[in-house]
Amino acid sequence: MSKIAVFPGSFDPITVGHVDLVERALPLFDKIVVAVGINSQKKYLFDLEKRMDWLEAVFSNEEKVEVGSFEGLTADYAKKIGAQYLLRGLRNASDFDYEKTISQLNNIIGDGLETIFLIAQPGYSHISSTIVREIIKGGGDASPFLPTEVSL
């Protein structure tokens, strides 16, 4: 059985921190599915098509990475595609507290779905999509935080 991980997120937009996390996780898995979760209650800055295009471009040269999207529970999506693992990044203690609870719930509803946490590299621990969106909305230069494939 191959080791498949889902890296779920809104990726609104994808950041260099997200890319670093996937690159560091590649040796651990046979396949990583970078999956855009769609939440109808959430207001996004960029539409799904643009976010998917960016993900495809960013990971176009990595054969072990696939891009997908889903609605509903992450655990259900993982089951649907045969993934046994979720990949999550931790920037700080607040991330850990939140992600720990979510991982425990996913383990129960996902029939043993395991969450693998990677701690953000120090150079990326200050980057979040939320902050990058604020820079973009404020007319600032967000390019230091975005992969080169992301053009605004």
Active-site residue among 51, 88, 103, 129? 129
Respond yes or no: is residue 129 known to be catalytic: yes
Active-site residue among 10, 18, 51, 103? 18
Respond yes or no: is residue 18 known to be catalytic: yes
Respond yes or no: is residue 42 known to be catalytic: yes
Phi, psi dihedrals of residue 136, rounded to the nearest 5°: -65, -50
Between the CA of residue 112 and those of 66, 67, 84, what are the distances in Å?
Answer: 23, 23, 8
Active-site residue among 31, 50, 79, 91? 91
Respond yes or no: is residue 51 known to be catalytic: no
Active-site residue among 42, 43, 94, 151? 42
Both tokens of 90, joined, read 């931790």
Report the chain's terminal Cα–Cα distance, integer Å: 40
Q: Report which secondary-structure segment, H or E, holds 101.
A: helix 93-109
Active site residues: 18, 42, 91, 129
